[in-house]
Chains A and B, each alone.
Chain A
Amino acid sequence: MTHVKTINGATLKNSAAHGGCGECQTSCQSACKTSCTVANQKCENRK
């Protein structure tokens, strides 16, 4: 492909199959306390 470069695949959809364990950090506890972002958290199972 000359017009497009994919820098990330369908990772979100793929994560539905194995996600939801709930062991990950609570997003508001990390550094914000006022402006929640979830996509910058780590998955506990991918260390």
Chain B
Amino acid sequence: MVHTFHCLGEYIAVDVDSGAVHVLDKTAYDVLGQVQTRMPEGPCPDWLAQRLPEYSRQEMEGAWSDLQELQKAGLLFTDDSYLDPQAAVLMQQDAPIKALCLHVSHDCNLRCQYCFASTGDFGTGHRMTMDVETAKKAIDFVIQRSGNRRNIEVDFFGGEPLMAMDTVKATVEYARSLEKEHNKSFRFTITTNGVLLNDENIAYINREMSNAVLSLDGRPEVNDRMRKTVSGGGSYDVILPKFQKLVEGRGDKDYYLRGTFTRHNKDFAADVMHIADQGFRNVSVEPVVGSPDCDYTFRDEDLPDIQAEYEKLAEELLQRDDVNFFHFNVDLSQGPCVIKRLRGCGAGCEYVAITPEGEIYPCHQFVGNEDYRLGSVWDGSFNLELARKFASLNIYTRPVCHDCWARFYCSGGCSASNLLVNGDIKEPNQFGCELQRKRLECAIAMVARRAEKENNG
């Protein structure tokens, strides 16, 4: 499959199955746009020349010859016969679990309007934090289930994890104490709203956490509309200086300022730039996930506006080199292998979420949905049948994905989002797919523009 598109002034062709990416001139772009399958040998066919009368025959032949050369080199109209989809499913089945989303707190000190966790309690009606014994059981569980995988990730999540800082510290200490004996390397991350940050826990996070995800939506009025304190006030002024302090002391460790945009701020490029202007290099601002009946969730008619805004954002980011926008950060040559790209996030098989009670779910977004409860760290139960259902999900088994050009970049999307929107973990959320494709087109076009700038000195 070949995907051609025009973005940021560039004409681009992606040879989907090989991963090759080409920047074309307008002639080659128009010629390739007329060709759906492998090109025949020999000169440019008459039918094609007749369809593009604006070009001279000589110009057409030049473009045709260049495209044929790519095809001969295995860089255009390749296929995926080098992959075995069935083997990919089997590889995932009973695969080691290597990542935990550890819900150390089902309580929160903000009342964000769009919170998928029902402002912290996940719809349970009772707020609680995880005790140390449960956290230790979770670490034992992942060590036991991680097989030969050495690298294990634990993300401290909530609710708000800083409300359970004692548990966080005890978990890190316990996991570190077991690393050598079990030949594991734990990487800790934390996702926080920042309210409880102080000098002491900033120093702790910067020492122990390999990544910190810091929640802020952008401009003060945008942030404060959705991210409210318990008393209903805005959170921006409380949080911003704390995040700035944390990032100042972070050195070269990873972090992301992570925001959510909604139907209320479709001009979210201004929020990305606002965050960057506050001194944050790594920014991730993402579309809200929510029930279709909420006033802040997107409607189908919003799509053109959001797509245009992504392109506007990409153009603005090309003018400065001090911002790393998460969704435009696509490393074409050094990214993950194709095996990883078949299967995506690994929720429910490689990656699970654990609640303060020790219940296991496929990921944080399934927590509280009893149909998707996988087991418990307390009684050792783990529903292998359900885990295998998640393991069977890949770009060949999800409907729609195998006909999508972006399949090796997005890897099938988010099962939780699919369930929320379509009632089926396998059925991709088409609105989300459209946004994903646009983000990827922008990301690839940015690579092309930067390469062009480099070539031109």
Residues of A within 8 A of B (CB): 1-13, 15-16, 18-20, 22-44, 46
Contact = CB atoms under 8 A, between A and B. Distances in A.
Would you call the interface of chain B mostly helix, strand, loop, or mixed? Answer: mixed
6 contacts: A6-B21, A20-B339, A29-B153, A35-B286, A39-B410, A40-B329
Contact of A10 (B18, B83, B339): B18
A44 B151 contact: yes
Contacts of A18: 337
A38 B62 contact: no
Given A8-B333, A31-B213, A38 B411 contact: yes
B414 A6 contact: no
Interface string B54-69: 0000000011001101
Given A12-B19, A13-B338, A15-B337, A40 B327 contact: yes
A34 B365 contact: yes
Interface of B: 15, 17-25, 27-28, 62-63, 66-67, 69-70, 74-75, 78, 82-83, 91, 95-96, 98-99, 101, 116, 149-151, 153, 155, 187, 189, 191, 211, 213, 256, 258, 260, 282, 284, 286-287, 289, 326-327, 329-341, 344-347, 350-351, 363-365, 408-411, 413-414, 417, 432, 435-436, 439-440, 443, 447-448, 451
Residue in A9, A27, A33, A46 with the greatest tally of chain B CB atoms within 10 Å: A33
Contacts of A6: 20-22, 70, 75
Contacts of B24: 3-4
B411 A36 contact: yes
B147 to A, nearest CB: 9
B99 A26 contact: yes
Nearest to B155: A29
